Amino acid sequence: MTFMEAVLDGLRLVLVWPAPGYMMLGVAIGMFFGAVPGLGGLVGMAIILPFTFGMEPNVAFAFILGMYAVTTTADTLSSVLLGIPGTAASQATILDGYPMAQRGEASRALGAAYTVSMIGGVLGAVFLAISIPIIRPVILAFSEPELFALAVLGLTMVASLSGKSIFKGTAAACFGLMLATVGFAEFGGVRRFWFEQNFLLEGIPIVPYVLGLFAIPEILELAVRNTSISRVQPEEVETGGIINGMKDAGKNWWLGIRCTFIGVYVGMIPGLGGSIVDWVAYGHASQSEKNNENFGKGDVRGVIAPEAANNAMKGGALLPTIAFAIPGSASMAILLSAFFIQGLEPGPQMLTEKLNVTFTLVWTLVLANVAGAVILLLWGSQASKITYLQGHIIVPAIMMVVFMGAWVGNGTLGNWIVLLVFGVIGYFMKLGGWPRPPIVLGFVLGKIMEEAMNLSMQVHGWGSFERPIVLVVIALIILTIILAVRKQQKKKAQQAERLSARDGADEPASTIPMVVEEGGKNCPTASWPVSALLIAMFVYCFVDAMQWSFGSRVFPQTVATAGFLLALGALLFDLKGRAALKAGTAASDVVGVDKPYVLKSLYYLSWLIGIFVLTLGIGQFPALLLFVILYLKFWGNFGWKVILIYTICAVAFLLIMFNEIVPVLWYEPPHLPSFFV
């Protein structure tokens, strides 16, 4: 079978009924799982995998890949509208997408995101098809040293681009790396930093960890300030948001194509590409685009870049999976199971005699991306209206999703403990101007980096740093740091000019426009305790690791040393800023603590802890409903009619979603009768 015959036969297999029907069913399921924080493509694929038994191969792959293809398209909804990453691939989208929603431009951000998602998904599949004959030696050239170097590059990009301070960004990344060492060590089997809690022996669960860092601080602000997500009224925003977003995608077509290219070829790196691809694309955009001073404040290009890349990544991750049986991601590991169910064996034959089956997968990705993007484009303007709702209306609903999203998985109270602990950490980091995305990326890459570092030193020794690809990546890391430092120096110079102009005109500081990035305004009074706690944590981790074997301690001690120095640098800058604030010489973006806001925030956090305590006493299901009722009554001051309707809807959602669609084992105290017999 020739190459073109395989392409056409693959298309025929996708279009033969009932494959199109199952593909559209998969697209619908994927949009739901992608849009709900805490679920994502991995959970969806695990749920629908058993249903592929007995299906023809083309039908089974249409079903499962139809769902998989659109999760990184639908996850844009929560990233833009709520500032909560729907999946790990949408973290970078938050940096500009959520500020756009706060400006009343959510529909514009969604229009741009869905347009480039569709184009990225299609072109990603095209680039994949073109690459099939030539990419094998490139993939096989990647070994542990290359993976470690690329992981460092990804961390460097996110740390330098997601905040105002390189010290804070890199210290936060080290914090994430340290969190990844919790549990049994890969080398030596030592139990590390588990604090006698058995649920931590398998490591910190990622879903409650991410939801705590991102979701709770944003929801807390909605509750305390009772503001809508959008800071402007609908009539103040120009019409045609979706169309304007599509036009933005057209104007920045070259950026979209470049990031699609990045998405495909970074996505091919097994186990790593999907973790860093959106940040690599975002870093490329912020460093290569002209007039980039608005990145991080609501620049539509900051949405276009990661969204084009994370959809194209799906096609790239597919290649090592089908050609070498090396899963490009956890979702691809489930796809391997689907291969075995269908009696197919991944390997070089998938690029030769079974090339038509490979193109069946490629065509499914293309058509599913188009279908999902078109549906979401048609629906995006309606979804964006959530940003204008009163905060007290949406907070109980979002909190139910967050708590249950954290519960899905192993279904233990430990998940809720992690959610609440990192919710508090995320709140104080946001209050102090600390970037949170580096923590998540460090956590995701931690185990990969530790394994790669240990194997690199055992197999290659110091020769790891002499490999050609490693040298190229090291050069990119250095270039990234230089560009980030230059960018911050330029901003400081602009800030000094503005302050000089203010002093000359005798203007108050608040009238001078300043650049404010992820983490909000710089609040050294709230930031220095975070710096101090990180210093103490790194010292504790270094000392505690001294008793372990060399293989178990080398990575955490290396991270602790780097993290200590970086957090110390952040602390010194915090103390300097605090002194300037007291002296009245601080810059206009340096603010003090809003004490009434902090006190009310702590009060709200006590309510969340109350959910946990109530669950221990009366069970999980009634505790969540009681929270909804009490919140609507005492925070929202709603009437009993509204509360009754809201509670009925909450009951229906919990029972349908978590009893039928994603069945969970509800927590119920042993001394009380079960609600679900």
Query: How many CA atoms does the CB half-sphere of 165 hold within 13 Å?
Result: 28
Between CA 27 and CA 375 the distance in angstroms is 10
Residue 30 contacts residue 117 (beta carbons within 8 Å):
no
Q: Which of 476, 507, 530 finishes a domain?
A: 476
Between CA 530 and CA 669 the distance in angstroms is 36
Is the pLDDT assigned to residue 507 strictly greater than 50? no
Residue 109 contacts residue 243 (beta carbons within 8 Å):
no
Mean pLDDT of 573-585: 80
Whether residue 609 sits in one domain with residue 466:
no
Whether residue 223 sits in one domain with residue 94:
yes
Among 332-341, 397-406, 511-520, which is the least confidently predicted range?
A: 511-520
Look up tokens 């998938």; give the residue.
350
The pLDDT of residue 538 is 95
The pLDDT of residue 47 is 66
Q: How far is CA 405 from CA 200, 207, 212, 578, in A?
A: 18, 7, 11, 38
Look up tokens 């005492």; give the residue.
634
Residue 428 lies in a domain: yes
Query: How many CA atoms does the CB half-sphere of 482 hold within 13 Å?
Result: 6
Query: How many CA atoms does the CB half-sphere of 466 hold within 13 Å?
Result: 5
Whose CA is closest to 333, among 342, 343, 322, 344? 322
Residue 550 lies in a domain: no
- DSSP β-bridge partners for residue 184: 191
The pLDDT of residue 423 is 92
Residue 669 lies in a domain: no
- DSSP β-bridge partners for residue 192: 183
The pLDDT of residue 642 is 92
Q: How far is CA 30 from CA 15, 24, 46, 373, in A?
A: 20, 10, 12, 12
What are the helix (H) ranges across 435-467? 437-459
The pLDDT of residue 173 is 87
Residue 203 lies in a domain: yes
Residue 657 lies in a domain: yes
Whose CA is closest to 273, among 210, 305, 208, 319? 319
Residue 291 has a CB neighbour count (10 Å cut-off) of 8
For 467-527, the DSSP string reads SHHHHHHHHHHHHHHHHHHHHHHHHHHHHHHHHHHHHHHT--GGGS-----TT-SB-HHHH
Indicate the residue type of 362: V
The alpha-carbon radius of gyration of the chain (Å, integer) is 25
The pLDDT of residue 511 is 32
Return the higher-pLDDT residue of 435 and 33: 435
Residue 656 contacts residue 670 (beta carbons within 8 Å):
no
Residue 82 has a CB neighbour count (10 Å cut-off) of 25
Residue 487 CB contacts under 8 Å (≥ 6 apart), including other chains: none
Residue 575 lies in a domain: no
Strand pairing category for 183-184 and 191-192: antiparallel
Q: What percent of the chain has pLDDT over 90?
A: 14
Look up tokens 């460092």; give the residue.
152
Between CA 436 and CA 539 the distance in angstroms is 21
Between CA 194 and CA 188 the distance in angstroms is 15
Domain containing 423 equals: 3-230+241-388+398-476
Is the pLDDT assigned to residue 452 strictly greater than 60? yes
For residue range 400-426, list pLDDT tens digits in order. Answer: 888 987 887 678 889 999 999 999 999
The answer to whether the pTM exceeds 0.85 is: no
What are the helix (H) ranges across 268-300? 273-288
For 139-160, the DSSP string reads HHT--HHHHHHHHHHHHHHHHH
- DSSP β-bridge partners for residue 183: 192
Confidence of residue 296 (pLDDT cuts 50, 70, 90): confident
The pLDDT of residue 175 is 94
For residue range 602-632, list pLDDT tens digits in order. Answer: 999 999 999 999 999 898 999 999 999 999 9
For residue range 342-387, list pLDDT tens digits in order. Answer: 777 666 666 666 777 777 887 887 888 788 888 877 776 666 677 6
Q: How far is CA 634 from CA 68, 288, 396, in A?
A: 41, 50, 12
Q: Which of 438, 457, 476 finishes a domain?
A: 476
Whether residue 358 sits in one domain with residue 219:
yes
Confidence of residue 506 (pLDDT cuts 50, 70, 90): very low
Number of domains in the chain: 2
Return the higher-pLDDT residue of 37 and 222: 222
Report the mean per-residue pLDDT for the chain. 78
Residue 253 lies in a domain: yes
Between CA 275 and CA 266 the distance in angstroms is 10
Residue 300 contacts residue 245 (beta carbons within 8 Å):
yes
For residue range 627-656, list pLDDT tens digits in order. Answer: 999 999 998 889 999 999 999 999 998 998
Q: What percent of the chain has pLDDT over 70?
A: 79
Return the higher-pLDDT residue of 441 and 608: 608
Is the pLDDT assigned to residue 587 strictly greater than 70? no
Whose CA is closest to 315, among 279, 358, 352, 372? 358
Number of H helices, E strands in the chain: 26, 2
Q: Which of 443, 476, 509 finishes a domain?
A: 476
CA end-to-end span of the chain: 57
Between CA 87 and CA 307 the distance in angstroms is 12
Residue 299 lies in a domain: yes
Q: Virtual CA dihedral for 159, 465, 330, 333, nearest 10 degrees?
A: 170
